Structure 1
């Protein structure tokens, strides 16, 4: 792979390790950006909310969240590492590996290190939690390594987000299984995230040979798929027998329906496309808020 040089000449990653002290903040930002910070923080936040709602102690919740955080770092860094050549051809300035600000060998080391840390931390939560987390990570890594460019691109999102509740519940005493409705809701939320996250980059991806399911369905088809998945996620959660609170359910239903309407009718413009992902995050936040309000005692998690 050919590494680009910046305006001062030389490889950016060479100055990252050997340059003046003033370069340190820039290097830190490059590492953070290469990790895809928004998905990392969102998935970690969802994990914290699930852990609290299911009755984890503060220490146990922190352990599970740290494991998921480390795993998400490995997924983000691997994504930028694998896509570096394509990102460089597409001229994506926000990609530190493609722009030569991070050494590929260093990124590969961080991918491996964060993956080992993630699996090691989850192993402290029990065998079933560790297995669920490993399967979720393998699914995400497979996406990074090539499934993203196939018609099966949504499958890793379904698998990984569907397994996330299991990572949390299996870490509880007795390793209870997650309730099926929560698995379905998580999987469909991941499906919606895949479609809306891809929408802004459909044209750029197509130019560099990426043809995942959203690219094959097109912008309109992807908006419909995202809307249906998001509505299904909200309905699966709202339909759970042990979740009470009419006001919370109404708020969730209203937000889901509003988001669906926005995706279907208001998402065709560039601004609407950019707002699609934040609206999905809003519904996810309301779902987590409903779980936190209702609570899921550990004995009822199965």
Structure 2
């Protein structure tokens, strides 16, 4: 029984995005030239921050998920005890603070600002028209967490922070897209919900397309075939998604969501590819 509860608690942390964001920032740290110990420290800090955010999200949404009979939510099904998830979120958040600051005072401040923004989203901002702001802030500061711990505490180039912010906004729209109707029924009225399913489908690819363009055209040096190919692919996916949405794709179709997700993966790949350009030469 204890093992099952432990697995359920882990499932409540949103493991997929937790692992994805942790891996992204760790790879960026490696690409920027950080040593193995620093990269491990950065990865641990991001992991703890993401764990705390995921558990916080499910705790805040527990009543709504229970009312909606969400079988995929361990708190809603009773598989994960609320007390255990609360304790796990508190421990993860407490561990995130010293781990972040150990990477450098300014680097830690940047990361903790992003974590605070994510908690603010969970605790109420997601119900407002400014629901996109925490995503933009948190993702935009991730490159700063990597570079501000380097000698001289350099800020990352503007293109990296802009691409991160755009990627965050795109992630927000992509994440919300499948659940817009359920969110509206529960009274959650963030920006995508206010726009509605059809307009969100049309607009969701745009910040990801912009992020890809910034990542292709922003870094120094020639673009190269990889950059142009990635930009062409993203443009094609954006055009297809927008056309499908404008034509009134059926409500249950996941094609716009999957296409937008593919754009996000492309943008993340470009960000990692240019990770070596984050630090000054």
Cα distance change, pair 232–71 in 1 and its aligned pair in 2 (3 A): same
Distance in 2 (CA, whole Å) between partners of 1:151 and 1:192 is 15
Quick check: which has more Rg, 1 or 2? 1
- Partners of 1:53 and 1:265 in 2: CA distance: 37
Confirm whether residue 29 of structure 1 aligns to residue 10 of structure 2: no
Q: Which moved more, 1:34-43 or 1:250-259?
A: 250-259
Count of aligned positions: 276
Aligned partner (choices 205, 215, 224) of residue 227 of structure 1:
205
1:288 to 235, 247, 271: 271
Q: Structure 1 residue 119: deviation in Å? A: 1.4
1:54 maps to: 32
Task: Tell whether the 8 Å contact from 2:9 to 2:80 is kept in structure 1 after alignment.
Answer: yes
Matching residue of 1:151: 129
Structure 2 gaps of 5+ residues are: none
Residues 170-193 of structure 1, C-alpha deviations (whole Å, 9 max, x = no match): 122221111111000000001011
Q: CA deviation at 1:296?
A: 2.2
Q: Deviation of residue 289 (structure 1)? A: 4.3
2:103 counterpart residue number: 125
TM-score for the superposition, normalised by structure 2:
0.92
Q: Distance in 2 between matches of 1:112 and 1:260?
A: 40
Give the structure 1 partner of residue 255 of structure 2: 272
1:258 paired with 2:236, answer yes
Match of 1:201 among 151, 159, 179: 179
Q: Do the aligned partners of residues 53 and 222 (structure 1) sit closer, same or farther apart at CA in structure 2, a change above 3 Å counting?
A: same
Instruction: Please show how residues 1-302 of structure 1 align to structure 2 within 5 Å.
Output: 19=1, 23-24=2-3, 26-266=4-244, 268-269=249-250, 270-276=253-259, 278-292=261-275, 295-296=276-277, 298-300=279-281
Root mean square deviation, CA, Å: 1.7
Moved more, 212-221 or 96-105: 96-105
Q: Which runs of 5+ in 1 are unaligned?
A: 1-18
Residues 48-57 or 72-81, more deviating: 48-57
Q: Distance in 2 between matches of 1:193 and 1:297?
A: 22
Corresponding residue for residue 7 of structure 1:
none
Q: In structure 2, the residue corresponding to 1:215 is in which secondary structure?
A: helix
CA contact (8 A) 1:192 1:225 kept: no
Q: 1:1-59, CA deviations, whole angstroms, 9 ceiling, x for partnerless residues?
A: xxxxxxxxxxxxxxxxxx3xxx51x3333122211112111211210221122111122
Contact 1:64 1:171 (8 Å CA) reproduced:
no
Runs ≥4 in structure 1, deviation > 2 angstroms? 26-29, 265-269, 295-300
